[in-house]
Amino acid sequence: MKKYFAINRIMYLFPLTLTFMCYTGAAQIKPALIPEPVSLVQGKGTFVIDNHTSLIISSGSPELAALGNRSNEWINTLAGVTLPVKNKTTASEHSISLLLNPALNNLGNDEGYELSITEHEVKLQARKTAGIFYGLQTLRQLLSLSGEANKQQHSLPVVEIVDYPRLKWRGLMLDVSRHFFSKDFVKKYIDDMARYKFNVFHWHLTDDQGWRIEIKSLPHLTEVGAWRVPRTGQWWSYAPPQKNEKATYGGYYTQQDIKEIIAYATERHITIVPEIDVPGHSLAAIASYPYLSATGYIYQVNPGSKFYNIDDNTLNPADERVYTFLDKVFTEVAALFPGDYIHIGGDECTKYFWQQSAVVQDFMKQQGIKTEHELQSYFIKRVEKILKKKKKKLIGWNEILEGGLAPEATVMSWQGMQGGMEAAKQGHQVIFTPSSNTYLDLYQGDPQLEPDTYDMLRLQTAYQWNPVPAGIDSTLVLGAQGNLWSEAVPTGLHAEYMTWPRSLALSEVFWSLPAKQSWTNFQKKLEPQFKTLDAAQINYSKAAFDVLATAKLDEQKQLLVSLSTDIDNLNIYYTLDNTNPDTSSIRYTGTPVAIPKGIYQIRAQTFKGNAAAGKLLIVPREELEKRAK
């Protein structure tokens, strides 16, 4: 989430009217693939997978052989057969062939692939194994979708597909600091990402509420910083740690755990980008080593109680010991993670404690640093030099623009698009992740129906944005990502609920060409994809099918309520008499509903035909009046 300053609920957005169309499963219905391929030409008939089908891997590449084994596992799961692996096929047998073909010249990049399915043969070819991997994800979806459509799980539709991604960086971020998620869950999260062609896992490993990565040269980081006092309830309302209260909630990943997760991700063509959040968001580190802050006070790891500008969570940029500390941290982080980038945060750094510190203020005078923003820039530039010595590139949130960008920094823009656009104008690479379109910790539907958080991101809003804005050099747009902050996400199941299906939308935004993106068509693909998510045991949300209520007061102070859904072609029925609505109740026609005095609640629900499509929404008058302000 990040946002100490976004605690107040920001309601209540815009009425949305969207469309839902059911996938019928008829043989010639276009496959409901997500993300949408560059080109898909559908033929007639199917390729049947049975005991006479062979898997052909003609290359001697160990990577290709490993992908063949994994594809066999997927085919066995979906079709119930294990295919014999051969290095060539005969003219008479059915076969699925995986072929590396460096000469392919119609693919946009090395992640592209061609997939040809006839009634007798499946041929998947690509320049590199990454393309084979993504083609296999398409094959996997086709097999799953075909099984649902035909009530069998062993056939593929006849199609010709040419496909490649729009963006190089297609990421999801998981915050494991506010709540710790197990190694097994992180692996499952990565596996689910791979299904939909994400290729970057941004791992938010440190923050005020926990330090989650073992640093062997600094053992207190996990002995102290990985643990906090247990709390349950609403984030920021928790009581602070009490005297002599034991810190028992938390956990961390050993370096062996991290190596295992990196290997797992690498097999799935996902690069892990670790984040060590500095100089702000550092209370867990300061609790471990109090000399790191300008105050030098002894603090405890924050459990989710209010502390901003109360406890000093910022590293002291005037103390050389801080840079020695960071050198040790980044030495071990850089040795663990093979990717090019390390994320250093740089966001929401209070300047209050620097302003109060005589030592920091004297340092600024000595260095000719005029403002605290320039002081943070000095700090970030020092960190960039540390990373460069370890052959790593620095990424920071858009606040690293303040006071002047580090020379080679990449900017991840979360406060809208403007920070990234400004960085691109300065010649820096950028990754767009605006909170209004990509923050997966926000409400998906009406707050009366959803777990508590602080703002809203509907499915349609996640889908309908452009991560490559006009007016900048598009070659500097490295990519985009969705972010799941976990202040209000305490479990793995809830993390999945918040991630999907909004990440289905993001996967198409990041992968598919703009001309291939259609909100109307995307809605048609949801129901069959939900069945795929069910089969994969992914806990997703159906909030897009629920009613969202917004309210306002007219000139006579009459309370008016508007009802909407993310999904089109659903009927909304409502009542004001405290009974549950059904299809005999009043149908909402788009005209705001006047709520007379004495009426203390509205109840509303979506229906498709006579069947309820979403959950029952009950909004008390008191809540409606809050929304009208």
- 372 and 489 both lie in a single domain: yes
pLDDT value of position 108? 82
Q: Are 447 and 490 in contact (CB under 8 A)?
A: no
**Residue 476: which of 397, 420, 434 has the closest Cα?**
420
pLDDT value of position 32? 96
Give the end of a domain, one of 110, 140, 163. Answer: 163
The two beta strands, 477-484 and 169-175, are parallel
If you average pLDDT over every residue of the chain, what do you get? 93
pLDDT value of position 434? 98
- 248 and 176 both lie in a single domain: yes
Alpha helices in 314-412 (DSSP H): 320-336, 352-356, 358-367, 372-389
- 218 and 265 both lie in a single domain: yes
Examine residue 520 and state whether it is found in any structural domain, yes or no.
Answer: no
Report the CATH number at residue 485. Answer: 3.20.20.80
| Rounded Cα–Cα distance for residues 137 and 144 (Å) | 11
- 98 and 117 both lie in a single domain: yes
- 104 and 230 both lie in a single domain: no
DSSP 8-class letter at 208: T
Examine residue 527 and state whether it is found in any structural domain, yes or no.
Answer: no
Identify whether 348 is a catalytic site residue. yes
**Tokens standing for residue 563:** 């009802």
pLDDT value of position 58? 78
Q: Which residues of the chain carry a pLDDT beneath 70? A: 1-28, 91-92, 147-153
Q: Are 207 and 284 in contact (CB under 8 A)?
A: yes
| Rounded Cα–Cα distance for residues 502 and 629 (Å) | 29
- What are the pLDDT digits (tens) for 21-75? 333 344 468 999 999 999 999 999 999 998 889 999 977 789 999 999 999 999 9
| Rounded Cα–Cα distance for residues 322 and 345 (Å) | 16
Give the end of a domain, one of 509, 524, 558. Answer: 509
Report the CATH number at residue 559. Answer: 2.60.40
| Rounded Cα–Cα distance for residues 327 and 312 (Å) | 22
Q: Which member of 207, 208, 311, 347 is catalytic?
A: 207
pLDDT value of position 9? 36
pLDDT value of position 618? 98
DSSP 8-class letter at 37: P
Give the end of a domain, one of 146, 163, 180. Answer: 163
- 211 and 121 both lie in a single domain: no
Examine residue 465 and state whether it is found in any structural domain, yes or no.
Answer: yes
The domain of 121 spans 39-163
| Rounded Cα–Cα distance for residues 286 and 382 (Å) | 19
Q: Are 168 and 198 in contact (CB under 8 A)?
A: no
pLDDT value of position 59? 73
The two beta strands, 53-57 and 85-86, are parallel
Domain count, the chain: 3
**Residue 158: which of 78, 42, 54 has the closest Cα?**
42
pLDDT value of position 92? 65
Beta bridge partner(s), residue 175? 204
| Rounded Cα–Cα distance for residues 48 and 184 (Å) | 34
- 346 and 468 both lie in a single domain: yes
Three-state SS at 436: helix
Q: Which member of 154, 204, 281, 343 is catalytic?
A: 281
pLDDT value of position 309? 96
| Rounded Cα–Cα distance for residues 154 and 532 (Å) | 15
Report the CATH number at residue 53. Answer: 3.30.379.10
pLDDT value of position 27? 47
- 334 and 453 both lie in a single domain: yes
The residue behind tokens 């539709």 is 157
Examine residue 539 and state whether it is found in any structural domain, yes or no.
Answer: no
